[in-house]
Amino acid sequence: MNTTLATSIDKLIRHKLLTHGEFVALLQANSEQLRADLASEAVKTRQARFGNRIYIRGLIEFTNYCKNDCLYCGIRHGNTNAERYRLTKEEILSCCDQGYQLGFRTFVLQGGEDPYFTDARMTDLVAEIHRRHPDCAITLSLGERSRESYQALYDAGAERYLLRHETANAAHYHMLHPAAMSFENRMQCLSDLKDIGYQVGCGFMVGSPFQTPEMLADDLLFIQDFRPQMVGIGPFISHKDTVFADKKNGTLEDTLFLLSILRLMLPDVLLPATTALGTIAPNGRELGGSNVVMPNLSPVGVREQYSLYDNKICTGEESAQCIRCLSGRMESISYHITVDRGDAPDFPGTHS
Ligand code: SAM
Ligand code: FES
């Protein structure tokens, strides 16, 4: 390893920050040895902050209707092959009840940008989950909404929001999205969410089409500056019915490399090991500096339909099976699944 690179790694560990140029050089130096060195530092950092605890969140993919047309996404509006579904309020509540019985204390409601779920319907749903399970954290991932909408959902009991920024490079954003979508609005949404008081998660796909080390350095600098409580990253995986059907998938190695860098930059951050990571490598979710897993609580009948990319894993298992399987996999590498709410260390407790 050359001295400049060694100095950068040392700086990243001590100061949690590098310049754009240093990040680019680090990303370009990506090698098996460098990945192993950073992963071992990342594991040390994670263990110092979280021990062997892994947090679980119950994921409910409650609608795959979407008004947007992101070029990479299998549930984009323009995909007429997608079989659409939308869970009823009762079905969503029953997923939460079932999840509660299984020990989940965080529910993540994720969906496409479905106009059916107006503020009135969504706040009613969030308030009812909050009423039934006041000891649980409600996380939303509903895409871009107005500040008023985010505020109303927060007031109804939602405390966390996941909205990947997708890329911090405006030109790259426009290569991944149709002209009708705006980079500025995405960034405004993230800032509104934070301002309101949500624990916020941003993130991006690793190996998305046209991504360069310079763009990834933009992502890392944005994340360093934004200081989210959670960062969701996973490999890009092509979907046959999208504009990017023929684009190359992101790799496990690059994703793990970035997870290590993120852990070193933000030692306290909640880092989910995503399903996309598990999809490209059978043991993908056991690795990296991650400390959160999100088993699927959606009814088995609809899981295949929430198809963002091809060959998604865990679409056929019952929730109980899913959590048993995950716990087994985690215990096998000496991690312990923790059932508590798992708030970000700088955000203890509930807001209401
Ligand atoms: N509609 C919400 C939103 O926009 O945040 C939540 C659902 S959206 C489908 C969730 C995330 O899936 C996106 O932020 C994107 O990063 C990821 N995703 C979509 N298509 C993907 C693909 N082909 N490969 C990997 N991840 C993908
Ligand atoms: Fe639905 Fe991008 S296609 S949010």
Nearest CA to ligand 2 atom 3: 76
Nearest ligand 1 atom to the CA of 244 is 23
With CA atoms as reference, report the closest residue to 156 among 183, 136, 131, 179. Answer: 131
What pLDDT score was predicted for residue 346?
Answer: 72
In this structure, what token pair is assigned to residue 137? 């954290």
Each residue of 111-164: pLDDT tens digit? 999 999 999 999 999 999 999 999 999 999 999 999 999 999 999 999 999 999
Q: What is the mean pLDDT of residues 237-258?
A: 95
- In the reported structure, the alpha carbon of residue 22 is separated from the centroid of ligand 1 by a whole-number distance in angstroms of 29
What gap in Å lies between CA 119 and CA 99, rounded to an integer?
24
What average pLDDT does the chain have?
91
pLDDT of 269 > 90? The answer is yes
Rounded CA-CA distance 119/303 in Å is 25
Ligand 2 centroid to residue 141 C-alpha, Å: 11
- Protein residue whose Cα sits closest to atom 3 of ligand 1: 143
Q: How far is CA 277 from CA 234, 293, 306, in A?
A: 6, 11, 16
Model confidence at 351: pLDDT above 90 = no
Q: Which of 146-150, 219-223, 233-237, 310-314 has the lowest mean pLDDT?
A: 310-314
pTM: 0.94
pLDDT in tens, 38-73: 999 998 998 899 888 888 899 999 999 999 999 999
Q: How confident is the model at residue 285 (pLDDT cuts 50, 70, 90)?
A: low
Which of 164, 190, 238, 246 best tests ligand 1's pocket when mutated (most atoms within 8 Å of CB)? 164
- Closest atom of ligand 2 to CA, residue 73: 3
What pLDDT digit, counting tens, does each position of 69-102 carry? 999 999 999 999 999 999 999 999 999 999 999 8
Residue 120: per-residue pLDDT: 98
The residues facing 107 across adjacent strands are 58, 138
What average pLDDT score do residues 163-173 get?
Answer: 98
Token pair listed for 228: 């989210």
Q: Are 129 and 104 in contact (CB under 8 A)?
A: no
Given a cut of 80, whether residue 283 has pLDDT beyond it is no
Read off the pLDDT band of 16 (50, 70, 90).
Answer: very high
Our mutation pick for probing the ligand 1 site, out of 231, 308, 310, counting the most ligand atoms within 8 A of Cβ, is 308
